[in-house]
Structure 1
Amino acid sequence: MSNLVFDESSSNRETSRGLAWWFSGNTFAQAASEDTRPRKRTFLQHLISHPGRLTIIYFMALVVIATGMLLLPPSTPKGETTTFSTALFTAVSALSTCGISIVNSTTHWTLFGQAVLLVSVQMGGLGVMTFASLITLAINHHLKATQRLLTASELGTSKLNEIKGVLTVVIATTLLIESVTFVALSPGLMKVNGGDWEKSLWEALFFAVMSYNNAGFTPDGAGLHVNSWAVGMPIMLSAFCGTLGFPVLLNLMRCAKGHVPPRRWSLHTKIALSMTFIIVAVSLAWFLLVEWDNPFLFKDADLDSRLRHAVVAAVMPRSSGFDLSWVPQVSEPTKVFMSFIMFVGGGSTSTAGGIRVTTFAVILLICRASFTGHKDINVFRRRLHTDVAMTAVSITTTCLMLVLASSVALMLVSGSTLTNALFDSCSAFGLGGYTVGVAREDNPAALAVLAITMVVGRLGPMTIAYSISRPRSPEAVRYPEETVVVG
């Protein structure tokens, strides 16, 4: 099967009604017989035949390159030095689009250093799997069956013959949203910077890439510019679009083009949008009720400023990490609440992290079905497959164990409280970009723990599991059932 080439020519597609990849003669039988013959395979062929492993190697190679570039003298001003642990952590934070910064991005990095961060975030935001697939296309001029299946899962499409088109649309959509954000930001930043167009254009480009990719690095130390809606609103809207995920954006664009009403949107889009707006609404209510008297979050007493800061606090902590000044000053219950929001994260295959809003929605639907005595998991007049439920439970359990292990490790190496350790662990895993002081430049052990958590949060447990073990054939023997008492 490793040499399988899909015949998707227009003539063959007409005769097979779009199933050319399936009706390709005895290609599968020939490939199976060839696989039984012992043959020598090059190192490159081994990588291409195992896309999960290729993805991790690709990500690690980018980490090495970015770390080396951040250690170069042009990356820092004269008199400034960057330790290896700081450069490594910053590179991982940028490539994972987490955005946790342990140094001042404005004063510690030069324009060259900021450009390294910008390119790293862009490479990570487009998706490790997307770039791995493009590398495979460039090398082999086509995608192998295993690569197509994993990329289909990553990009949220089930049709194998759509993969190449989806990859193109993903890149085009990313560049389009970033370009629109750049244009929208330029006038507001010109006003903020007093007409300095060179500085304004660079900051507009920097914010455009960082906001859509949900990374919290800033070029000027001012954060989100929450007091200037001309700057803060485009950043917030771009970050919100980035958290929706490519499947939702593609479905919305196709439905808008075809004038499809919301009731005919895909089930994934309905669940993702519903859960996203519910989480934002709950977050807005939380910050208004619990943090109403917090002077660090609401510096002005008027209602307009409170609502403006509350909206930013409700939208951005899910994955963006802009405007960090108020975060360490929130109450302990709010730290726990924000940890939960960052653990859930954004949409599937988005620039955000976490277990994803659709995974959390499926968990809630499973609980509803169990408590109401239903065997089927139904939502929006559709029934979810059992495999979806099992995947949601396994992802949530695995990621919860990872966050707990990371929190305990941070408590041991930094001496921080459980609340602070949990907050930084969820921020690293959910790519939130926030820190309450656990991530410090003078504590390499804590940085190492958080860096590992960010890598897992970016690549995802399913990609890592795929790289370790290939999918196996169905069970040949099914054992008899027996009940176990739970609860």
Structure 2
Amino acid sequence: MAVVVGAALLALPVATESGESAGLVTALFTATSAVCVTGLVVVDTESHWSAFGEVVVLGLIQAGGLGIMTLASLLGLLVARRMGLRLQLTAQAETKTIGLGEVRAVVRRVLAISAVVELLTAVVLTTRFATGYDMPWGRAVYEGVFHAISAFNNAGFALYATSLTPFATDPWVNVPVMLALITGGLGFPVLFEIGRRLRGRTRRWSLHARITLTTYAALVVVGVVGITVIEWSNPDTLGPLGVGGKLLVGAFQGVTPRTAGFNTVDIGQLNSGSLLLTDFLMFIGGGSAGTAGGIKVTTFALLAFVIYTEVRGEPSVHVAGRRIAADVQRQAVTIALLAVGAVAAATLTLLLMTDFTLDAVLFEAVSAFATVGLSTGITASIPPAGQLLLVGLMFLGRVGPITLAAALALRERARRYELPEERPIVG
């Protein structure tokens, strides 16, 4: 419904600078990208949309981010409560639900964290735009708020045709944006737990928080080091910069595949190795029940633990002193394989529709599914049918993993018998 309403508003003549309707496909694509906090665009946000259109886009980003975050947090809490009760009190598991007070508490905390992070980021960006770039204070406030909301919600929309490349070597712009997108990408269950630890209410990390923080940090290091090393001498990206500029730009481009979608270099000029590494990082995404997309770092980590356990020949998966239930393992495998299938099918279809290279098409498909928003610059040149395919991929990538995970966790079927066992040849 949010996508439909947003598309209708963006299709109005008042939403464009020219005063003419943007067209249904352009309006639908932009609205979906905003609500799904992706950031892919077929027209330049700043020059194509009027002030009304930009405010609509910003509202869709905030609504999509808060709505998805709130829903995901509540679904995660519901799953955790019901699964925990099945382990402890099976007889009461079917009737136990979240109380109204808990729902309100979760929503209040989500809103509070969102408001605080976006406000702090906006203040820093506004001050920098006004004092460092002689921007009028009114415009500085507008751009600071816009980019702060876009960053925290991992949307990737920018008011510049080249994203944040005009500020590539400015740490006062890059660092606040990186901190905002990391905070939003960790997921609210982890942020809640960090808050409880800071207040001294708990001394023990939950398994989910430990897996998320450790895997997220490891992937950030891989991204930052990998992009910086691969692009260090590339004359079209990091090559012309000094050491400090290379490190800052490399850090930003290593963090942004966590589904942020901003870029400070021309993505189309990256080496094939950097594109493939970014594909990998985008597909994994960020933390569960947050603004990030992808299959989520916990899904990736669980698959790695399953492989490690199988290689060691152990009968069950153990992580940090806890045994991982078999149904959780199946959920991780299901989500990952369905995601691979969706990206592969979309990539093949786009290859048949266009003349672009596999590198560019795969990057576009992964970016859409993982709701990242990075692009090699081909989005606007994809035919309308291909753009509609990306619309479906963005929507699937945003709501699919959350819905599927909740459905698999809450849906159990009792099997009254087991069939005879047989082992097919593997490998």
- TM-score computed with the length of structure 1 as normaliser: 0.79
1:125 aligns with 2:65: yes
CA 1:155 to 1:197, structure 2 compared with 1: closer, same or farther past 3 Å?
Answer: farther
C-alpha distance in structure 1 between counterparts of 2:138 and 2:124, whole Å: 16
Task: Provide the C-alpha distance between the structure 2 equivalents of 1:415 and 1:155, rounded to a whole number of angstroms.
Answer: 50
> Match for residue 350 of structure 2?
410
Change (3 A) 1:411 1:195: closer
User: Among residues 238, 262, 271, which one is paired with 1:322 in the alignment?
Assistant: 262
Q: Of residues 413, 419, 427 in structure 2, which corresponds to 1:479?
A: 419
Q: 1:355 aligns with which of 292, 295, 298?
A: 295
The answer (yes or no) to whether the contact 2:371–2:398 under 8 Å persists in 1 is yes
Aligned Cα RMSD in Å? 2.6
Name the CA shift for 1:154/1:307 in 2 (closer, same or farther; >3 Å): farther
Q: Does 1:278 align with 2:218?
A: yes
Seen in structure 2, the aligned counterparts of structure 1 residues 73 and 132 have a Cα distance that, compared at 3 Å, is farther
Pairs within 5 Å for 1:47-446: 61-78=1-18, 81-128=21-68, 130=70, 152-153=78-79, 160-161=98-99, 162-221=102-161, 223-224=163-164, 225-258=167-200, 260-261=202-203, 264-298=204-238, 300-323=240-263, 325-440=265-380, 443-446=383-386
Letter in 2 for 1:241: T
Distance 1:246 1:182 in 2: 20
Structure 1, residues 257-308: CA drift from partner, whole Å, max 9, x if none? Answer: 11645xx211111111111111111112211221111123215342111101
Separation of aligned partners in 1, 2:224 and 2:47: 33
Unaligned runs of 5+ in 1: 1-60, 134-147
Native 8 Å contact 1:103 1:441 kept in 2: no
C-alpha change, 1:382 and 1:424, in structure 2 (3 Å) is same
2 CA distance for matches of 1:226 and 1:283? Answer: 17
TM-score by length of 2: 0.90
Q: Which residue of 2 aligns with 1:145?
A: none
Which residue of 1 is the match for residue 92 of structure 2?
Answer: none
What per-residue deviation string (whole Å, max 9, x for no partner) do you get for residues 201-221 of structure 1? 111110111000011111244
What is the one-letter code of the residue matched to 1:244? Answer: L
Task: Report the Cα offset of residue 417 of structure 1.
Answer: 2.1
Q: What is the CA distance between 1:117 and its match in structure 2?
A: 0.6
1:331: how far off? Answer: 1.2
State whether residues 118 and 210 of structure 1, in contact with CA within 8 Å, keep that contact through their aligned partners in structure 2.
yes
What are the superposed Cα offsets for residues 132-153 of structure 1, whole Å, 9 maximum, x if unpaired? 99xxxxxxxxxxxxxx767624
CA distance in 2, matches of 1:153, 1:217: 32
Once the two structures are TM-superposed, the CA of residue 333 in structure 1 deviates from its matched residue by 1.9
Letter of the structure 1 residue corresponding to residue 306 of structure 2: I
Contact 1:324 1:434 in 2 (8 A): no
CA deviation map 1:38-79 (0-9, x unaligned): xxxxxxxxxxxxxxxxxxxxxxx1111100111112211136
Aligned to 1:51: none
The Cα shift of 1:97 comes to 0.3
Change (3 A) 1:222 1:447: closer
Q: What is the alpha-carbon distance in structure 2 between the residues aligned to residue 326 and residue 149 of structure 1?
A: 38
8 A Cα contact 2:15 2:51, kept in partner: yes
What is the CA-CA distance between 1:466 and the residue it aligns to? Answer: 7.1
1:414 touches 1:438 (CA, 8 Å); kept in 2?
Answer: no
User: Whose helix proportion is higher, 1 or 2?
Assistant: 2
Higher mean displacement: 153-162 or 301-310: 153-162
Deviation of 1:336 after TM superposition, in Å, equals 1.4
Of residues 364, 373, 392, the one that matches 1:452 is 392
- Alpha-carbon distance between aligned partners in 1 of 2:327 and 2:185, rounded to the nearest angstrom: 24
**Aligned-partner Cα distance in 2 for 1:132–1:293:** 42
Q: Which amino acid aligns with 1:405?
A: A
Cα pair distance change 1:441/1:115, threshold 3 Å? farther
8 Å CA contact 1:157, 1:247 repeated in 2: no
Deviations 1:65-107 (A, max 9, x none): 1001111122111365512111111111000000111211111
Partner SS for 2:323: strand
Using the TM superposition, name which of 189-198 and 394-403 deviates more.
Answer: 189-198
For the 8 Å contact 1:94–1:121, the answer to whether it is kept is: yes
Mapped partners of 1:253, 1:175: distance in 2: 15
In structure 1, distance between residues paired with 2:186 and 2:137: 32
Q: CA deviation at 1:154?
A: 9.4
Q: Tell me which amino acid in the other structure corresponds to 2:78.
A: A
Distance 1:91 1:297, change over 3 A: same
For 1:157 and 1:178, the matched residues in 2 are separated by: 34
Unaligned runs of 5+ in 2: 85-96
* Aligned 8 A contact 2:69 2:110 in 1: no
Offset of residue 472 of structure 1 = 5.3
Partners of 2:83 and 2:186 in 1: CA distance: 15
Q: Which amino acid aligns with 2:136?
A: D
Identity %, equivalent residues = 34
Provide the C-alpha distance between the structure 1 equivalents of 2:221 and 2:412, rounded to a whole number of angstroms. 42
Residue deviations 1:161-208 (CA, integer Å, cap 9, x gap): 433322221122112211121222221111244140100011111011
Contact 2:69 2:291 in 1 (8 A): no
| 1:24 matched residue in structure 2 | none
1:398 CA drift (Å): 0.7
Check conservation: 2:46, 2:161, Cα contact below 8 A: yes
- Cα distance in 1 for partners of 2:365, 2:345 equals 9
Q: Distance in 2 between matches of 1:388 and 1:243?
A: 22
Shift of 1:416: 2.1
Letter of the structure 1 residue corresponding to residue 246 of structure 2: R
